[in-house]
Amino acid sequence: MSSIIFEKSMPGRRGATFPKSDVPIADAIPKQYARTSPLALCELSELDVVRHFTALSKKNYGVDTNFYPLGSCTMKYNPKICEKIAALDGFASLHPMLAQLPGCGGFAQGALAVIHDLENLLCRVTGMDAFTLQPMAGAHGELTGMMIVSAYHRKNGAAKTEVLIPDEAHGTNPSSAAVAGYEVRTVPTDPATGLLDIGAFRGMASEKTAAVMMTNPNTLGLFNPRIKEIAEIAHACGALLYYDGANLNAIMGKFRPGDGDFDVTHVNLHKTFATPHGGGGPGSGPVGVKAFLEPFLPAPRVVKNDFFALDGNCPDSIGPVAPFYGNFSVCLKAYAYMLMTGGAGLAEVSEQAVLNANYVMRSLSGHYDVPHLKTCMHECVLTAKRQAERGVRAVDIAKALIDKGFHPPTVYFPLVVKEALMIEPTETESKETLDAFINAMIEIAEAAESGPKSLHAAPVSTPVGRLDETKAARDMDVAFL
Amino acid sequence: MSFVPATNEQRLEMLRACSAASIGELFADIPKTLAPPAPHSGFFGTEGASEFEALTICERLASENNARIVSFLGGGFYDHFIPAAVDAVASRSEFYTAYTPYQPELSQGTLQAIYEYQSQICRLTGMEISNASLYDGGTAIFEACKMAMSSTSRRKVIVDCGVNPTYRKMLKTHTAAISVDIAEVPLWQDGGLDRQRLSGVIDDGVAAVVLQNPNFFGVIDDHSDIVDKCKSVGAIAIQSVYPLALPLIKSPAEQGFDIAVGEGQPLGLPLSFGGPYLGFIGAKKQLARKMPGRIVARTADAEGRDGFVLSLQAREQHIRREKATSNICSNEALCALRAHAYLSLLGKNGLIDVANLCRNKAAYLRECVKKSIPSIKITDRPIFNEFTMALPISADDCVKAMAERGFAAGIPVGRYYGGDSDNVLLAAVTEKRTKAEIDCYVGNLREAVGVKR
Amino acid sequence: MVPTDLRYTRTHEWVRLGGDAATVGITGHAQDTLGDITFVELPKVGAPLTKGREAGVIESVKAASDLISPISGVVASVNAALESAPEAINKDPYGAGWLYTVKAADASEADGLMDAAAYEKFLESESE
């Protein structure tokens, strides 16, 4: 471990200086309001700080350093030009209030154009009629979507209390529905197909159902072809159909949620549209709706007449979900990415993402069990069941991969598959990289057969070994004070 | 411009390995009737731009903005100087191309940075625990209220109108569908807290009381008396704070607050037309299990080496699903890293310097306006770097006139507070504004308010 | 082997009848499935509990599950030692790892719960 930054502090040292005050020194803040406790921040030189962070960065895997096939996360390459564009002073230094001030709208026309155009592009990719860029992450998009659903039903005087969600769904789905005030009912997956159990679903849908949340392809990497039937059942009881765009990278140019009768969707710009994940964020989770739900979108909305302007006169709007227009610079990076791919490039993205996932699945199917051995979409789910019988669990395989220079796939998710290994290669990885990964996975499977014990010590090549999570939770040392 | 490296030969080879004759076969599960109309001639037939062309398009759009206007805008979002080293360390792609640190052995860089960020927030606010970040200062208030409701089993939230009006709106949006009783308490006419009225509504049915310091009108205060009142009835006291004021003003902990939240944008994040920003949160230790989002903890490996992990994950959506403390998954980790780098670079003395520069310059502006434009009324409430002026004309007209003169003069308050506040303008001053700019602003303001439209 | 003097629920709580109040805990199987327990949220003394409803939460590193009340009544006491040492549940789930005691509203409610033999059978059927 590098020492904690506060331990490097040297009283009197400075890392940033500011101009001398060119105005008179003001009277001190009245005692009653003034801070008396010490400001215990570090005192370091600029080089101290730069070295500290550089040392930390070397202890990280990123897409730029290693293959990162984390299922459900779409860890594709993040083009550098998008970073450069987001840093352009005309965008980076623009105060968001400018667009709302009288006489100042003309100062933000370029930024408003980006919002307007990106909303439009997202409509074309998804087949929805209108978008908002306000939600600041995927889960925030889900919550926004559920709040729109709720506002719609309230407006229609429909007392609906439940949201139906498949058991394989991401945890954010039930969590977002619950934060929006709904009771969550879990619909089982048909173990034979890996798809929603339509019989069970039909039995659970009722006049109480406010919405059905679906990810298609689902978290098992399988596309549900009976989506129209599901939509009919949902709509017949007055429920809306929600499309979780987590897996949009699989289907661009092949299927638009709008054509599958979905009413609301969110997309993750930090997955599908190549904006960086930032070690956990920031993301961006724009929400798209069919025309009948447009009045409920968060206000204000960007409109175009002779000029771009903001329209805050939206009486049915759920209100703002962000302080301004969402994570604008993330949106800008996604916009630049879409300029470069064009629609044809997005279709190519999905084709290659799906081919890469199938190639990995087929190449590993002799060595690992595949619960649903059929064509998958952009990700495949294997199980380490066979290896677990030899004492090598999914977590051991993950840690062994680390020693071979790969970021592990997602493990133990989806919950409906025991010892799950969920692999999403993405389209930006070459066949050479995939082959190297496949070889590593095969070597690990062979090691599990011959000498399973050797895998329990992994990883040995990292700055730390497996960490004591129980101690972490019991000691709760969450700040260096 | 394509970022797909596969060659045609490789594609064919891979298809063969999948026993598929064409890429189309891999999409056979998607019924033909669901395919987009005219997939190859419509949008999905459009070609992309080259990197150079995309840059040119975006540079043109950037030039259609005026980010260089001399700005006195604040309202929670400020034009502070960002040292170059903040950009340099946050541009390391080992940080920004990583995912949430689920695999700790490969993520010690991100994890230690977050642990240190949590420590910075605790040291700044005086609170005992923090988390890896929330979306922004507005959703942070919503999350804090949820913590309070969950720990008190009560459903009533009192919000002082000194809290940023946009945050109050966001709180209403986020709670519209759940049974929460939100009561807003109006301010005194001069922008200060209405203590009597506020104390009067805090009873044993209240889950949380939300205050802001400095408040939206720039007024600084000591809320200890309100916090005492909260404690006497078992309500959770929440304060939203401007982090750059904290070197000088009483910290939330010094006033006894249970939860501190705020917007971290002033800590080294560019304005970027609204985001990404950074919601920070600090709390007392006994609220740890109610805390939303990721929390990093220090622990050790089998050999006794110190290391960091995501901890208390059982509270989170990926495990607890509909019963999680929050639905947050992606947060603002890279923004937190920037704030951490900013606080490290400035350190104790740099932060005090910036806070004093802001305070001195705002005081100077206030004095100049008082002296040279008697028709503008300004109260004597203590401020940090922002204050309101009651103009002789409508604030909207003033802002319009000032824009023509090259100034973003401030935020008209009437749009949020209505009533007779149409002539009230909120102006903020950061360390980036020079004496010459302030003098020029005052000269232009005098002319602008002198001309009635 | 599970203790024969206790009654069991399908959600893996046990209850010991007798004396003024019934004692409640989680079974050896439950603690084993959860793994290292890091935190328990117990009901407050005096709180009314309803059979089959949530009484608290038990947390391990990778999971959190609700404690379901096996019997209705009012909480008489809680095992405060668990606050600082929740590992007692792992070490001694039927002894030092007890969770709380409850003054049963109707002790006959426990008749509907499984005895040791039935619970063991239930565990076998669950593992299949």
CATH code, A114? 3.40.640.10
Residues 65-124 of chain C whose Cβ lies under 8 A from any Cβ of chain B: 66
Q: Do B319 and C60 touch (CB under 8 A)?
A: no
Q: Helix (H, G, I), strand (E, B), or coil: what is residue A32?
A: helix
Is pLDDT of B451 > 90? no
Is pLDDT of A318 > 80? yes
Domain span at residue A148 reads 84-340
- pLDDT 10s digits, B112-160: 999 999 999 999 999 999 999 999 999 999 999 999 999 999 999 999 9
Across the interface, of A22, A109, A407, the residue whose CB is closest to B65 is A109
Is pLDDT of B326 > 70? yes
Is pLDDT of B219 > 60? yes
- What CATH code would you report for C7-120? 2.40.50.100
Residues 295-314 of chain B whose Cβ lies under 8 A from any Cβ of chain C: 312-314
Distance from CA of C41 to the nearest CA of B (A): 9
Is pLDDT of A199 > 70? yes
Q: What percent of chain A has pLDDT over 90?
A: 97
Residues 189-218 of chain A whose Cβ lies under 8 A from any Cβ of chain B: none
What's the burial of B232, exposed, middle or buried (CB within 10 Å: 0-12/13-18/19+)? Answer: exposed
Residue C108 pLDDT = 85
Cα nearest neighbour of C83 on chain B: B286
Q: Are B295 and B310 in contact, with CB atoms under 8 Å apart?
A: yes
Which band of pLDDT confidence, cut at 50, 70 and 90, is reported for residue C98?
A: very high
Cα nearest neighbour of B1 on chain A: A340
The mean pLDDT of chain B is 96
Question: Is C59 an 8 Å CB contact of chain A?
Answer: yes
Is pLDDT of C20 > 90? no
Distance from CA of C38 to the nearest CA of B (A): 9
Cβ-based neighbour number of residue B139 at 10 Å:
26
Residues 97-156 of chain B whose Cβ lies under 8 A from any Cβ of chain A: 97-110, 112-116, 118-124, 126, 128-130, 132-133, 135-139, 146
Question: Is A467 an 8 Å CB contact of chain C?
Answer: no
Residue A277 pLDDT = 97
* Interface contacts (B, C; CB < 8 Å): 22
Contacts of C64 in chain B (CB under 8 A): 314-315, 319-320, 323
Q: Average pLDDT of A149-166?
A: 96
Q: For residue B301, what is the DSSP state?
A: B
Strand residues in A246-396 grouped as ranges (E):
264-267, 287-289, 301-304, 308-311, 380-383
C-alpha distances out from residue A401 to A59, A74, A281, A423, Å: 16, 19, 25, 13
Q: Do B403 and A143 touch (CB under 8 A)?
A: no
Angle formed at CA A316 by CA A311 and CA A320, multiple of 5 degrees: 60
Contacts of B289 in chain C (CB under 8 A): 39, 41, 59
Contacts of B261 (CB under 8 A, 6+ apart): B134, B137, B140, B141, B143, B144, B238, B239, B240, B241, B279, B280, B281, B282
Partners of chain B (3+ Cβ pairs below 8 A): A, C
Q: Do A259 and B34 touch (CB under 8 A)?
A: yes
Contacts of B323 in chain C (CB under 8 A): 64, 66
Q: Helix (H, G, I), strand (E, B), or coil: what is residue A129?
A: coil
- pLDDT 10s digits, B278-287: 999 999 999 9
Question: Is B289 an 8 Å CB contact of chain A?
Answer: no
- pLDDT 10s digits, B334-357: 999 999 999 999 999 999 999 999
Q: Give phi and psi for C39, each to the nearest 5.
A: -165, 140
pTM over 0.90, yes/no: yes
Is pLDDT of C128 > 80? no
Across the interface, of B13, B42, B275, the residue whose CB is closest to A329 is B275
What span, in angstroms and rounded, lies between the C-alpha atoms of A168 and C37?
26
Distance from CA of C39 to the nearest CA of A (A): 8
- pLDDT 10s digits, A5-46: 999 999 999 999 899 999 999 999 999 999 999 999 999 999
Q: Do C39 and A470 touch (CB under 8 A)?
A: no
Residue A336 lies in a domain: yes
Q: Do B319 and C38 touch (CB under 8 A)?
A: no
What span, in angstroms and rounded, lies between the C-alpha atoms of B277 and B283?
20
Across the interface, of B129, B273, B352, the residue whose CB is closest to A94 is B273
Residue A3 lies in a domain: no
Residue bearing tokens 């961006």? A284
Partners of chain A (3+ Cβ pairs below 8 A): B, C
- pLDDT 10s digits, B377-388: 998 899 999 999
Cα nearest neighbour of B92 on chain A: A57
Q: Are A478 and B129 in contact, with CB atoms under 8 Å apart?
A: yes
Residue B41 pLDDT = 78
Choosing among A470, A471, A475, which should be mutated to test the C contact, i.e. which has the most C CBs within 10 A?
A470
Cα nearest neighbour of C62 on chain B: B314
What span, in angstroms and rounded, lies between the C-alpha atoms of A292 and A149?
11
Residue bearing tokens 């003003």? B249
Tell me the domains of chain B and their CATH numbers.
Answer: 8-56 (no CATH), 70-78+348-450 (3.90.1150.10), 84-342 (3.40.640.10)
Angle formed at CA A87 by CA A84 and CA A90, multiple of 5 degrees: 120
Residues 13-32 of chain C whose Cβ lies under 8 A from any Cβ of chain A: none
Contacts of C66 in chain B (CB under 8 A): 323
From the list B411, B444, B362, the residue with the least C-alpha distance to B74 is: B411
Q: Do B61 and A24 touch (CB under 8 A)?
A: no
The pair of structure tokens assigned to C24 is 């409640």
Question: Is A40 an 8 Å CB contact of chain B?
Answer: yes
Is pLDDT of A155 > 60? yes
Distance from CA of A388 to the nearest CA of B (A): 20
Q: Do A470 and C36 touch (CB under 8 A)?
A: yes
Length of chain C: 128
Could you state, in order of their start, the residue ranges of all structural domains in chain C? 7-120
Cα nearest neighbour of B290 on chain C: C41
Partners of chain C (3+ Cβ pairs below 8 A): A, B
Residue A208 lies in a domain: yes
Residue A416 lies in a domain: no
What span, in angstroms and rounded, lies between the C-alpha atoms of A217 and B447?
63
- pLDDT 10s digits, B87-101: 999 999 999 999 999
Contacts of A17 in chain B (CB under 8 A): 350, 353
- pLDDT 10s digits, C33-83: 899 999 999 999 999 999 999 999 999 987 888 999 999 999 999 999 998
Question: Is A249 an 8 Å CB contact of chain B?
Answer: no
**Radius of gyration (Cα) for chain B, nearest Å?**
26
Q: Average pLDDT of A154-158?
A: 94
Residue A481 lies in a domain: no
Which band of pLDDT confidence, cut at 50, 70 and 90, is reported for residue B420?
A: confident
Residue B452 pLDDT = 44
Q: Are A444 and A455 in contact, with CB atoms under 8 Å apart?
A: yes
Residue A29 lies in a domain: no
Question: Is C86 an 8 Å CB contact of chain A?
Answer: yes
Q: Are B305 and A1 in contact, with CB atoms under 8 Å apart?
A: yes
Q: Do A474 and C38 touch (CB under 8 A)?
A: yes
- pLDDT 10s digits, B13-27: 999 999 999 999 999
Find the DSSP H helices in B195-273.
195-201, 224-233
Residue A186 pLDDT = 97
Residue B453 pLDDT = 39
- pLDDT 10s digits, B300-318: 999 999 999 999 888 888 8
Residue A206 pLDDT = 97
Residue A71 lies in a domain: no
The domain tally of chain A equals: 1
Residue C18 pLDDT = 81
C-alpha distances out from residue A352 to A71, A76, A223, A452, B10, Å: 16, 12, 16, 35, 11
Q: Give phi and psi for B341, each to the nearest 5.
A: -65, -40
Contacts of C38 in chain A (CB under 8 A): 470, 473-474
* Interface contacts (A, B; CB < 8 Å): 734
Which band of pLDDT confidence, cut at 50, 70 and 90, is reported for residue A473?
A: very high
